[in-house]
Amino acid sequence: MGHIAYVRGSLSIQGVAFVRYRNEDDGLLYDVYRSQKRNMNDDGYIQQPADSSRPVIYEYRLTQEKLRDEIRMTTVTQDVIDLRTGNISASYKTFGYSEFEPSRTPLAAPSGVSCPSDVPKIDEKTGKMLPSLESLAFLRMFKN
């Protein structure tokens, strides 16, 4: 279950024709395709009801787990599974921790930190957004 925003990153990988996901709001399957941007507000994606005649080759799984015997530490694992073989084709894991116990801070202030620190960066020369470490990792794994 998810939202269209969760699957768009997968379409940045060359060779991925579409991404199928189950919408968390209505429970239906949709296929998402890249499209030509028509204006500044257009995000460049088209969502259509899933075409069951088009097979899905890879599955994306996002898993978040608290580490055993740790109060504020978690892992987030992103796996790409080849559905033809059942094997994991790519995996990206980040570790996160909360510096403070939110329930003991004013207004339950969050204090999350992750490793690697994958904060968005902008190229100083061009002003364009640089790809995240996560994006680079998956792009390298699926490079032809």
Q: What is the pLDDT along the chain (144 residues), one digit of tens a residue?
A: 566 666 766 776 667 788 888 888 898 889 988 888 788 777 788 889 999 999 888 887 888 898 888 777 888 888 888 889 999 887 888 888 777 776 777 777 767 777 766 666 788 888 877 777 777 776 666 665
Each domain of the chain, given as residue ranges in start order, spans: 1-56, 57-144
Query: pTM value?
Result: 0.59
The pLDDT value recorded for residue 3 is: 65
- Contact, 105 vs 86, CB < 8 A? no
Using CA atoms of 129, 135, 136, 141 in order, give the dihedral in degrees to the nearest 10: -160
Reply yes or no: is the peptide bond before residue 106 cis, omega within 30 of 0. Answer: no
The pLDDT value recorded for residue 49 is: 94
User: At 9, phi and psi to the nearest 5?
Assistant: -60, -35
- Contact, 113 vs 107, CB < 8 A? no
